[in-house]
Amino acid sequence: MLVKICGITSFEDILLCDSEGADFLGFIFVKGSKRFVLKPDEALITKTRAKKVAVLRDPDKKDIKVFKGFDFIQLHGLENEIILEEVKSIGAGIIKTIFPDIKESVNLCKRLSPYVDFFLVDSSSKLKGFDSSRFSENSLSEILEGGKIFGRDFFISGGLTPTNVRQFIDRFKPAGVDVSSGVEYEIGRKDPQKVRDFIKNAKMSESKKSEEKL
């Protein structure tokens, strides 16, 4: 089970999440976000085992090259093929957020799927102009086929905590889970015990399934 911890804003939290076994570290470069990171270089300066992800929303094509050096770019808006091609040109993988309750997002992601490495399922409340507290299970089930979305593995996000992450994994069977506020003691600062418990519980779910097959 892949674990992505997002909304990292400090050097200390980079080291914490990496040392505890996170697979992806997310840095938000969306103005207006409470976890906005101003300088891409500050996120890249520390070497980590975990992959580094720059989270963008509807960026201009000219801005993409600023994020060269990140392992993945997470596109959190309604970006088109031109933007995804530009991301590929800097050698980064693509995580594309999909909002199952929004037909426009679903249709766009289906078209963009050849460019995408992972989809990330989120609620439409995260997309400007739409309002929904969380995606519905029905809307997600409509786009799932063989445990994938349009042939791609996916992360599940939104409302995950150390205590409920296993329930989400068992219910939706994603390739990965994504958490931000669920492992914080205040906005933008990660709680070491919550990070530890979240990663342990997410990985334990995978281990338990392996044991059951023996």
20-40: pLDDT as tens digits: 999 999 999 998 889 998 789
Q: Over the stretch 139-181, which tens digit does the pLDDT of each residue have?
A: 888 999 999 999 999 999 988 999 999 998 998 899 999 999 9
Strands 72-75 and 144-145: unpaired
Higher local confidence (pLDDT), 17 or 124? 17
pTM above 0.75, yes or no: yes
Residue 156 to residues 32, 45, 145, Cα–Cα distance (Å)? 23, 28, 15
Q: Tell me: pLDDT of 17 over 70.
A: yes
The pLDDT of residue 211: 47
Domain boundaries, the chain: 2-213
- Please provide the average confidence, as pLDDT, over all residues in the chain: 90
Instruction: Check residue 205 and give its pLDDT.
Output: 52
CATH number for 2-213 (one of 1.20.120.530, 3.30.1060.10, 3.40.50.11400, 3.20.20.70): it is 3.20.20.70
Task: Give the per-residue pLDDT at 208.
Answer: 54
How big is the chain, counted in residues? 214
By annotation, the residues acting in catalysis are 6, 122
